[in-house]
A and B are shown apart, each in its own frame.
Chain A
Amino acid sequence: MSTEIEVENLVRRFGPHTVLSGVNLAVRPGELLALLGPSGSGKTTLLRLIAGLDTPDGGAIRFDSHNALGRKPKERGVGFVFQHYALFRHMSVFENIAFSLRIRRAKNPEVVARVQELLKLIQLESLATRYPAQLSGGQRQRVALARALASQPRVLLLDEPFGALDAVVRRDLRRWLRHLHEEMNITTLFVTHDQEEAFDLADRVVIMNGGKICQMGTPIEIYQTPANAFVHEFLGESNKLPVTLTNGQVTADAGFVIGHADAPDAPMTAYIRPHYIIPTPDPAGPWLVTRLTATGAQARISLTKDSAVLEATMTADELISSGLKSGQTAQVKITGGMLFDPAGEGPVKLTPNVARGALPHASSLVS
């Protein structure tokens, strides 16, 4: 029933710029897949190529093993939702949703029935005669979705669907879309630059950068084992420490051992998320607490040791019970992290190594 999409070695150039350089992707039938990446990573271009709004310079796109490239957008059975909705401003909500049916010369009773059904689905039955300019952003987005679904597409493509909405509406719509997807089971791809949105909504996430796919997997897989330094950084803040490996021991160039790793002796960079850094007050500790800030439930602690700077996070409650004060010295425990080579590749997991003398007061830490 649901459609499988295969993208093979897809290339797209705009003048001298290569926007997509050999992208391979397999979207499973009925899957909800997120294309995540910074702006300029090629994710929207990929979406437009799949929709048929643009033509690739090389490669193949197949829907259920049939070549889609020779087919026009209307023959591909694709529903597309644009970032800025692209509703027809001179048509009512009803006529916007009815557009694809009118184009196909559907009979009027049929059109009315289908549009009513969709209006009910998007819970905007009372606004059928309104014009797009009279709707809120969230309402427009839902109309755009209903319009894309009207002719029962096999594939649904959404370009930054919640990008222009405020946080609360975005969260509601996200949940609603997830629910809708579970009901309809259409193969769905959506583009986003918001990591939280991608992880919250998608079955699998594709991380793109510089016209290439960096990594593809479930949200947990990607977060736990990022394929390279770019992915690690893109998914959230990290402390970057230049380190050197000797016999598996990882020593920060700032002069402290942070753990060990299964990798050959070489200079590398450790990426440590702020919540993997746990500072505790210690009058003899080598770190100086320079700043404490609490934003609601979350607290941030900035620490320095010579030229090295660490950012740690913990819950506000943990901060209070830890007794940390600004201007005091502290000890630091590192409980996890990743190592990448100077090119940002070759990921190795950092095994925390608090018992080997680097952090003499580790035993006193509350975990």
Chain B
Amino acid sequence: MVVRRLLIAAALLFLVLFLVLPLVVVFSQAFSSGIAAYFTALIDPNVGDAIYLTLVIAAVAVPANLIFGICASWSIAKFDFFGRNLLITLIDLPFSISPVIAGLLEVLMFGLNGLLGGWLSANNIQIIFALPGMILATTFVTFPFVAREVIPLAQEQGVEEEEAAVTLGAGFFQIFWRVSLPKLRWGLLYGVLLCNARAMGEFGAVSVVSGKIFGQTDTMSLAVESLYESYELQASFAVASLLAMLAVVTLVLKAGLEWRHRDELAAGRRKKTA
């Protein structure tokens, strides 16, 4: 009994110390100069640009992830092809690489002195220190999110329903839209939610490739840092509070989804089924 209470107390203490308290600090700092100052900080054009940029990056990275996740799960669950296991392993790669390294790799590829740098600058295409680089970096870092949710689900569900659809006269696209996609929808939504939270909050990889030009290549998370470094504490925390709210909303939605579709989502956490 004592041990149990101690363990629960320790867990709660950690939660308060590392999650609740920082959250309280973020919001109290954001509102430290009053509500008016909070909104003034947020309507600053440079902050507005950062929010806009963050939304643009997420708007490209998340659908790219969604499409990749669907393709990967479809091919892995339904076909047995050469390199299938390699693909499953490689999908996890962005999880095991530090985002900063991912950003550096990109600089090495597309930077002025990079592998493709000469060709890119000759053709007037800028990737590093510009939006395309930030989108690429975010897409890379968030790569596994949707795929990892959907692949186990698709594998567990198998191909019987698709085969049934074939015998009932459905063609490829009819099967995809009417059977395969609806089967996976909750897993997909869950993956998209996690992917979106990560895409908006990504710092390391984007920081390396952005060049941090305030008001130009600043995302929300980068703006938090640059505002903080220029001693605009209240404004910095105001932007941070937006990201914190995104995190909270994501958590609530995630919990809701998990509760409503626990059976389907459980497959995502079960590694192997018979």
Q: Which residue of A lies closest to B162 (CB)?
A: A86
In the assembled complex, A230 has its CB within 8 A of some CB on chain B: no
In the assembled complex, A344 has its CB within 8 A of some CB on chain B: no
The 8 A CB mask of B118-149 against A (1 = contact, 0 = none) is 00000000000000000000000000000000
Chain A residues, CB < 8 A from B170: 74, 99, 103
Q: Which residue of B lies closest to A54 (CB)?
A: B163
Known: A89-B183, A90-B182. Is A103-B164 also a contact (CB below 8 A)? no
In the assembled complex, B67 has its CB within 8 A of some CB on chain A: no
Pick the interface stretch among A20-28, A75-83, A279-287, A295-303.
A75-83
Contact B160 A84 (CB under 8 A): yes
Contact B168 A99 (CB under 8 A): yes
In the assembled complex, A257 has its CB within 8 A of some CB on chain B: no
Contact A103 B168 (CB under 8 A): yes
Chain A residues, CB < 8 A from B98: none
The 8 A CB mask of B168-193 against A (1 = contact, 0 = none) is 11100010001100110100000000
Contact B164 A80 (CB under 8 A): yes
Contact A100 B163 (CB under 8 A): no
Chain A residues, CB < 8 A from B167: 51-53, 73-74, 78-80, 148
Cα distance A329–B163 when bound, in Å? 60
Min CB distance A311 to B, Å, is 35
Q: Which of A73, A84, A90 contacts B169 (CB 8 A)?
A: A73
In the assembled complex, B161 has its CB within 8 A of some CB on chain A: yes
Cα distance A90–B169 when bound, in Å? 18
Cα distance A86–B182 when bound, in Å? 15
Q: Which residue of A lies closest to B163 (CB)?
A: A53
Contact B168 A100 (CB under 8 A): yes
Chain A residues, CB < 8 A from B174: 103
Cα distance A94–B264 when bound, in Å? 22
Which of A53, A82, A84, A99: most chain B Cβ within 10 A? A99
Cα distance A36–B242 when bound, in Å? 66
In the assembled complex, A88 has its CB within 8 A of some CB on chain B: yes
Contact B168 A151 (CB under 8 A): yes
Q: Which residue of A lies closest to B186 (CB)?
A: A90
Contact B161 A86 (CB under 8 A): yes
Cα distance A86–B164 when bound, in Å? 6
Q: Which residue of B lies closest to A53 (CB)?
A: B163
Contact B163 A86 (CB under 8 A): yes
In the assembled complex, B165 has its CB within 8 A of some CB on chain A: yes
In the assembled complex, A204 has its CB within 8 A of some CB on chain B: no
Min CB distance A62 to B, Å, is 19
Q: Which residue of A lies closest to B161 (CB)?
A: A86
Which of A51, A52, A88: most chain B Cβ within 10 A? A88
The 8 A CB mask of A97-131 against B (1 = contact, 0 = none) is 00110011000000000000000000000000000
Chain A residues, CB < 8 A from B182: 88, 90
In the assembled complex, B12 has its CB within 8 A of some CB on chain A: no
In the assembled complex, B116 has its CB within 8 A of some CB on chain A: no
Q: Which of A78, A99, A150 contacts B165 (CB 8 A)?
A: A99
Which of B160, B174, B183: most chain A Cβ within 10 A? B160
Min CB distance B3 to A, Å, is 40
In the assembled complex, A154 has its CB within 8 A of some CB on chain B: no
Cα distance A74–B168 when bound, in Å? 6
In the assembled complex, A140 has its CB within 8 A of some CB on chain B: no
Known: A100-B168, A148-B167. Is A82-B179 also a contact (CB below 8 A)? no
Min CB distance B163 to A, Å, is 6
Chain B residues, CB < 8 A from A52: 166-167
Known: A100-B169, A103-B169, A104-B169. Is A90-B164 also a contact (CB below 8 A)? no
Q: Which residue of B lies closest to A104 (CB)?
A: B169
Chain B residues, CB < 8 A from A104: 169
Q: Which residue of A lies closest to B263 (CB)?
A: A133
Q: Which residue of A lies closest to B164 (CB)?
A: A86
Contact B165 A89 (CB under 8 A): no
In the assembled complex, A147 has its CB within 8 A of some CB on chain B: yes
Cα distance A148–B163 when bound, in Å? 12
Cα distance A89–B263 when bound, in Å? 12
Cα distance A51–B169 when bound, in Å? 11
Cα distance A73–B168 when bound, in Å? 8
The 8 A CB mask of A146-165 against B (1 = contact, 0 = none) is 01101100000000000000
Which of A51, A84, A90, A100: most chain B Cβ within 10 A? A90
Contact B169 A151 (CB under 8 A): yes
Cα distance A237–B170 when bound, in Å? 45
Chain A residues, CB < 8 A from B178: 88, 99, 103
Cα distance A89–B161 when bound, in Å? 9
Cα distance A53–B166 when bound, in Å? 8
Cα distance A87–B161 when bound, in Å? 6
Min CB distance B137 to A, Å, is 36
Contact B169 A88 (CB under 8 A): no
Q: Which residue of A lies closest to B175 (CB)?
A: A103
Q: Which of A73, A79, A90, A147 contacts B183 (CB 8 A)?
A: A90
Chain A residues, CB < 8 A from B164: 80, 82, 86-88, 147
A-B contact pairs, 21 of them (CB 8 A): A53-B163, A53-B166, A53-B167, A73-B169, A80-B167, A82-B160, A82-B164, A87-B161, A87-B164, A88-B164, A88-B183, A89-B183, A90-B182, A90-B183, A99-B165, A99-B168, A99-B178, A104-B169, A148-B168, A150-B168, A151-B169
Residues of B within 8 A of A (CB): 160-161, 163-170, 174, 178-179, 182-183, 185
Residues of A within 8 A of B (CB): 51-53, 73-74, 78-80, 82, 84, 86-90, 99-100, 103-104, 147-148, 150-151
